[in-house]
Structure 1
Amino acid sequence: MDEPSSVVVTGGNRGVGRVVAAEAVRRGHRVTIVARRPDAGAAAAREIGADLVVGDLSSVRTVRDLAGALAAADPGPGVLVHNAALWPHRREVNEDGFEQAFFTNHLAPFLLNRLLEERLRRVVQVSAALYTTGRVDPERTPEGRDFHPVRTYANTKLANLLMVPLFAERWKDAGVTIDAVHPGVLRTELTTRGGPLGVLMRVVRPALKPVARAAPPVVDLVDSGGTGRYFQVAREKPLKPRARDGALARRLWDDAETVLATV
């Protein structure tokens, strides 16, 4: 993309989203951050030089409202960077009956893609290399009946990646492109946890990369024209076989379309 784009970054008020938004502004893009808290979002937007849309990704209702707000914004969302994610330490179910991380990390990006697809030119999905340890059971994972404080995050990231080739195929004649990127193992708030895992994360945290290192590989893809690809930092990598399971991908797509029908 040679011309500056209108870029929307979910979860853009802190962590990876904030540095991605700031880097996109630095490169001359018009940036809108999505944040759940108006005060924190407004402060971040002001400091970054971005616009703000208040919204969250916790339920069908709130995603519908967010999609409407983004569609009404001027300019609209030419590029959508899906950054917001949860790494839960206990099972929580949202108002629609979905395990919260499954909804926020997987279903919410799917719904936004579909609701906004006529306005989009580009989608960048911030992913995680932990997808390689994920296992998605369509009968259990959406409701969190297989919940685990580590594996659930990996499961949601795998579900999300399974959608990338299907979106690339769906959009190939519409001029919309989509790629995913794991920006590195970073020192973010996702690594701040309680319990035994929290103890481990506090030990390894000093060795993790600063969150600012996430910005270039993500924003490089904002300016890219490829589609259906997965990157680890700056290097394109083939997806592991479990993320190329066509039958599972189609089942998850069809299930997500069922949710879309309620929006």
Structure 2
Amino acid sequence: MNHKTYVVTGGNTGIGKAIAMALAQKRVHVVLVSRNPQKGQSTVTEIQQATRHEAVDVVVGDLGTVASTHQLATTLLESYPHMSVLINNAGIWMTKRETNEDNIEQSFMVNHLAPFILSTRLLPCLTANTPGRIVNVNAGLYVRGKLDLDKTPYGEDFSRMGTYANTKLCNLLFTRELAKRIKDSGVTVNAVHPGVIRTHLGDTAGIGGMILGVVKRFWGTPEAGAQAPVWLATSPEVEGMNGHYFDLQTATEVNEIARDDALGLKLWNLSVALAKLETFPV
């Protein structure tokens, strides 16, 4: 396993940091993506010292816009031609509607469109280094998603809980559609719910934030949340499994809307357009 290069987005904090730490303990080459260069390098140093494993790098990248995500993909392709595993872990939970320079709602961008861009752009590299894997860190809240492709990507139906659920539903629909397209390529893609984990997602000020902070004390640690994604990225038990949703380490059937192949195809085509991938062979 030690010849493989594993890329982890959102790798400088929370579950992503714990994933990177666990992978370093397995003596693989770990590349963590961080928007903040100082925090990213600090995390690399911490992991190297804790694991006594030097093959840990940071790449500075921003998943907040289409252009910056494409730039990250280009950097990864140029710097790490031996990538074989991509763990799309980075995620946000917006407390109010915000759109980026592309007029795309921010959580739709980070939670769905950025993983879409990275997965499709990096796919030729992963295919060249088979067996390859793509792991999409999802959430059980996808079941509350009620996706409207005319509104959700732009935040026109924004709600704090609903939008987060919608983006996770998008990510799951994308996982299933991509799995069909890469069948027999030597690369697999699966989604995983890591459990209810104590991270900074959804943090806010005020009474609501205080209550959430108290509740989170009873949630799992980032280290616990890293276990299922790391297992899905490394275990021979799931070799060849493709297009599945795992609740922790159990393959679980998704709900009816997440099985809607027609909706998944519409989302795929919209994502290609929003990601400016019209000329890219996906």
TM tier, smaller: over 0.9
Q: Distance in 2 between matches of 1:196 and 1:180?
A: 33
SS in 2 for 1:162: helix
Corresponding residue number in structure 1 for 2:163: 152
1:200 aligns with 2:211: yes
Matched with 2:73 is 67
Q: Which residue of 2 aligns with 1:245?
A: 260
Q: Which runs of 4+ in 1 moved over 4 A?
A: none
Q: Distance in 1 between matches of 2:225 and 2:3?
A: 20
Deviations 1:20-74 (A, max 9, x none): 0100110121100000011000110121131011001011110111001000113
Q: Deviations over 1:78-115 (max 9, x none)?
A: 10000001100010000001000001100110011111
Q: Does 1:233 align with 2:248?
A: yes
Residue 117 (structure 1) aligned to one of 111, 118, 123 = 123
Quickly say closer, same or farther: Cα 1:196–1:154, change in 2 above 3 A: farther
**Do 2:4 and 2:82's aligned partners in 1 also have CA atoms closer than 8 Å?**
no
- Quote the residue 1:14 is aligned against: 13
1:87 matched to which residue of 2?
93
Counterpart code for 2:34: A
Q: Partner of 1:171 in structure 2? A: 182
Work out the CA distance in 2 between the residues paired with 1:104 and 1:193: 19
The one-letter amino acid of 1:189's match is: H
How far apart are residue 259 of structure 1 and its match? Answer: 2.4
Contact 1:191–1:205 (8 Å) recurs in 2 = no
Partner SS, residue 18 of structure 1 = helix
- Cα offset, 1:202, TM superposition: 2.0
User: Normalising to structure 2: TM-score of the pair?
Assistant: 0.89
Q: Is 2:7–2:32's contact at 8 Å kept on the other side of the alignment?
A: yes
Give aligned pairs, total.
262
Q: Identify the residue that residue 220 of structure 1 maps to in structure 2.
A: 231
Is contact 1:70–1:76 with CA below 8 Å preserved after alignment?
no
- Given that residues 105 and 156 in structure 1 are in contact (C-alpha distance below 8 angstroms), is that contact kept between their aligned partners in structure 2? yes
What is the Cα-based RMSD across aligned positions, in Å? 1.5
Identity %: 40
Distance 2:99 2:33 in 1: 22
- Matched with 1:101 is 107
Deviation at 1:201, TM superposition (A): 1.1
CA distance in structure 2 between the partners assigned to 1:6 and 1:215 by the alignment: 18
Distance in 2 separating the partners of 1:101 and 1:76: 30
Question: Deviation at 1:173?
Answer: 2.3
- 1:142 aligns to 2:153 (yes or no): yes
Match of 1:57 among 63, 67, 72: 63
The answer to whether structure 1 residue 184 and structure 2 residue 189 are counterparts is no
Q: Is the 8 A contact 2:138 2:192 kept in 1?
A: yes
CA-to-aligned-CA distance 1:195-237 (integer Å, 9 cap, x gap): 4542331231121111110122111111142211111112111
Q: 1:249: how far off?
A: 0.7
